[in-house]
Amino acid sequence: MFRGVKCIGRIMGVAIILIHINTFSYMIPQEADGIALPHLHLVTKVLTETVHRSFDCPAFYAGQSTENHNLSRVVSRFEEVHMELILDILIPTAYFPKLKLFEKFIEWGGEKFSQDPPEYEFSSSVLFRKNICTKYYQNILGYTLSIDDYTVLTLKGDSLSELEIAVNNKSVNRDKSELISFIYELYSSIDTFVIILLLNEEQIDEKHQIPNVDDAINTLLSSLNWSNPRGLVIAK
C-alpha cells in the first residue's frame, strides 16, 4: 500500500516528512526542540499527530528502517482527518461584469487567447476556473434558480487551505485574507449569488440565506473548524 516515505527538507527549521500513499501525498511536521508543532496541511488533507522527533532528516522508504526511523511507527502515529474542500461561486451571468475579476489569457504570437476553460483572477492568490459542468449544481440547489443563467467559478490555489489553517490556529486576519476580501467584493457589488463549500467532494450539511456579509464570513469560517467541519450553501 505504501509507496514510500522520505524527508523533503525543513521549513523554518522544522523537518518535513513526505509520505506517499498510493497516488496521494501528505506532509507531516516533526517535533522541534521538544515542542509539538501545529498541524501542517497539504492539498487540504490534515494530519493530526506529529511524528517522532528527528533532527538528521534522512531519507527512507518502505521496507527500510534506520536507527531512529521505522515506517510502521510513522504510519501508526498519525490519524487522517478528511477535509477535502471545494469552493464554488455561482454568479448570475448578467452581473458578472460588475465584479473585479480579470480573465487570465494565454499569449501566443503576440495575440491573447482565452484558456479552456477560462480562468479569472481577483488577486494574486484568489484564482478561479470556470466550471462548465453546471447541471450538478442544479441538483444541489433544486429548482429555486435556473443554473443556465449563472456562471460557476471554482476556486483554485491555496487561499482556502490557508484560511482553513488560520481558523484552526486562531490566527485569522480578515484584513489580510484575500479570499475574505473577495467575499466582501461579492456582497458589495451584486445583489444575488451562491457560495457552495463542498466537504469531501459532495457533502452539504447546511444551507443558509444570509444577506449580511459579516454573518456570511462568520458562517464560512466556522465551517472550516476541524472539530466540526461542514459543507455549506450560502446564498444572498
Whole-angstrom Cα distance, residue 42 to residue 25? Answer: 8
Whether residue 135 is found in the same domain as residue 219? yes
Terminal-residue alpha carbon distance, the chain: 45
Final residue of a structural domain among 60, 82, 104: 82
Q: Which residues in the chain come in under a pLDDT of 70?
A: 1-82
Whether residue 209 is found in the same domain as residue 107? yes
Whether residue 57 is found in the same domain as residue 102? no
pLDDT of residue 58: 39
pLDDT in tens, 51-68: 333 333 333 334 444 434
pLDDT of residue 42: 39
Range of the domain at 8: 2-82
Whole-angstrom Cα distance, residue 101 to residue 233? Answer: 22
Whether residue 17 is found in the same domain as residue 91? no
**Under a CB-based contact definition with an 8 Å cutoff, are residues 25 and 19 in contact?**
yes
pLDDT of residue 146: 86
Whether residue 69 is found in the same domain as residue 184? no
Report the chain's C-alpha Rg in angstroms. 21
Whether residue 186 is found in the same domain as residue 101? yes
pLDDT of residue 184: 97
pLDDT of residue 143: 72
Total structural domains within the chain: 2
pLDDT in tens, 138-160: 888 877 788 889 999 999 999 99
